[in-house]
Amino acid sequence: MKKIRLGHSDLYVTPICLGTMTFGEQVDEPTAHAILNRSFERGVDFIDTAEMYAVPTRKETFGATETIIGNWFAKHPGMRAKTVLATKVAGPSRGMDWVRQGSGMTAEDIVASCENSLRRLQTDVIDLYQIHWPERHVPAFGNLYYDPCKETSRTPIREQLEALAKLVEAGKVRAIGLSNETPYGVHEFVRLAEEHRLPRVATVQNVYNLLNRTVENGLDETMHRLGVSLLAYSPLGYGLLTGKYDAGGSTGPGAPAGARITLYESVRKQRWGRPGSLAAARRYNQLAREHGMTPTKFALAFCNSKWQVASTILGVTSVAQLDESIDSWGATLSPEVLAEIDQLRLEMHDPAF
């Protein structure tokens, strides 16, 4: 696969990234290691994880995903040097008091989280270290609007950048990124980095798929003009865009027993379990079939066709799913098909915002 440069950094990655948030919850360690092995066999050497994984989050599985990946590195000497490894520091608690206490995310929190991730991953350096969600109160994870009355920010962006700078200067982090960010946040991180000679963000990892194209509501222009790359997560909409829910609702007849939305009530209550998300997914999946493509191939071809996307993060629970996704990669959609998709978006908007 042709490598893609991330932002202004010296990181070059494949257009597919292996997402790992299921490792330690739906995926046991032997299966996770088999998926990692297969990923490298297929040429995908870009791995994304986070300190708070596995998902859905529980105290018992906090840090499990990084630990599983670290054990894989230990079993395969030399593979760490061949890997572009990304992980994330969790933002303010969001009810996960096992990650950190309180509502903030201090400079000390960032440094401590990085040290813990390095230990679990059994590595000396993280290639891309990302802030998982803003320290500010922002519209994300199903919240549509910004409400200044809910603002609880305590750590200025400059202070966060200075903490990240210390990690870069110490050789523990190569490049930095953001996740679940807004245009304002990206602008501020870049402006302050340039003004104070601090590390410049290379990436933003945001949800981007047929059911949620909010990246295109202004964030894409910000990233393009500032030279920041998009890492698109949930390209298959938590499985809705694979077609596996088309025969029934997330819990009704036809719903697959082992799928995330079926298994976890917490997921069903989020944006992916909304009736509008399910209904829109069925429309896009039908459009895929009308054009002679599987829903999975169609959804991935959409990401592959869009100039906004640098690398697409694929989350899987089996080697077979990984092979299906990689086999589906490389297809693109014609301008005419993209126009049909745009018409559906005008009708159904972004139901999984």
Q: Say if CB 212 and CB 235 are below 8 A apart.
A: no
Kind plus residue range of the DSSP H or E element containing 184:
helix 183-196
Write down the catalytic residue from 12, 53, 208, 284. Answer: 53
Placement of tokens 């210390």 in the chain: 166
How many alpha carbons lie under 13 Å from residue 15 in its C-beta half-sphere? 18
Q: Give the three-class secondary structure for 280.
A: helix
Answer yes or no: 53 catalytic.
Answer: yes
Q: Say if CB 135 and CB 104 are below 8 A apart.
A: yes
Q: For residues 166 and 144, give the distance between their C-alpha atoms in angstroms, rounded to a whole number.
A: 34
The CA distances from residue 51 to 24, 133, 176, in Å, are 12, 12, 15
Residue whose C-alpha is closest to residue 298's, from 286, 310, 308, 314: 286
As annotated, the active-site residues are 53
